[in-house]
Structure 1
């Protein structure tokens, strides 16, 4: 018997560029600076907290919205870092990572035929999630080079069918960061509309050079219409744990939880207990900007003289480079050549654009051990 045929919900989706480049890196023995995850472990104290929770018998279903102690810890953290009060009972939900949070928020508020504005280049889960909701993604490019928001183009993209706008700061893949003025301009733009906001803030604690992360929570006109997504995986170097959070006004959260309860229902219990205990000390996330800035600076200094032109890196754990002086190859071809001939894996920025826009720019991830970065830099300096 053959498998019955049926129409694909995502006919244009194939293997992601991250899987493709990681497989190529393994095949070539290349240093993998492509996929965005650390190659080092988390704080042993976090391991111990999760282990203690398991040993204490916290191994059955937690409440659907998340463990009360963890939601309270998240609310306390948001007050301390962004000066916004969220009710842990009604306005914070623990999710199975940020990607599940993003999909759930979209499914909760977007109807078939709606439009959702995404800013290119963007994280590759946004548009498939919009497609699954039966909606149409309206792609608005960020300003090439600076990757700053172009509010004239965003305003022009708004229509009577626009239900949601997705923003991401610090930004993957460009490492740009929205300023307070950017956030205020967005607040003013959305004020006369009914457009909702999804603010992807998973790199919130990776902002450098003394700058501040300007969360949507800091701006009343944005907070009142926003799902704000964060990630313990990114913050505490445990991307494989897949635990994230969403903060939103109670009315939005009520709709979010309707979808959440029937897609995931609840999230790993002992990890929630461990994270709740670990969050009692703010030092691990308060020290994160300095931790990653040291890695950024090491990587940027090591690329001096390589022929790769460094683009600004204000936040996240990514560094983009312009390779125009090194090669005329298209971005994907250059990344394949770089892995095979130089021994370092990167990601083409064109993969983050709906139209495959080419700038001769690629993205490296510097969330790696120092020995990994030194090994990659030794190879890249041969360019």
Structure 2
């Protein structure tokens, strides 16, 4: 590896982007803070390797990061330049959320490895480097505070290692997929990553409420406490857990302080909450003062398996028959290929979606081909699961 170039100015970014614009491919990774040290998701570092130059681009010193990084964003949008990532979904969601960047021409080594179907689910970059290249890389800086400056030499080396081996991994995994006749699987899955978009969760408290089994009658107070905590966190630029921990949310709902003094003495609350105007807002949540605004009904997208819950009688029987056929096909794919491939084609989520929407709409072409070939091989009818219910 050549010497690490640490770039901190708009002029350096522009010069680097000019050189990268002629590359056929770049290896890229991002370090960012997601509600660990500051509020929200914050880009902390961009690592790029083009086969010769190792670039660490620091967005924090830039006067106007969105503007100053635009020459680099143009390369990420350029379909003529291949971008090699490992497990890129979080990165491309962040780029879309913060900068409106939609990355084109993606190769994800995590996707490639998954489609080999040698083991289940994703693999960390460190384990993949060890498995494929026989190298041990130091992952000791993985949980570093990437927003703290100056970065240490250990952090810089860790960040560089995240992109240094991506070309070699991508090429090796591509050869393995080619030998199995699965290159088109990876092409389809990587192409689908271009369509990944960030969407704001308007009701983020529902995920936490589910974890703590909040009852419907408890939800209005839980929601208002959650949103007040978020408001304070944004104001002081700290993660919500630093305002008060998640486990305090259900405790405060089920044993709510009854007065201003009770709130002042409540344990585990950030001091900012005990000052005006937040203390008054907390007091308004006390049992004698709280006016509950009912939680709106969940939309179809927010309900789990909403389709199946709408069915009864003959329609429910037809849905059950579809499910049984899909599970039968999953068993056949397990026997014909292996269980990992079967789960890639017919995971529990995909089975539920196919029951409602049909395989033609839900599956990628490579998955659909496997399903069609399996039904034909075992004398079953693909048409029974092809179209919407």
TM-score normalized by the length of structure 2: 0.24
Higher helix share: 2
Of structures 1 and 2, the one with the larger relative CO (CA 8 A, separation 6+) is 1
Higher strand share: 1
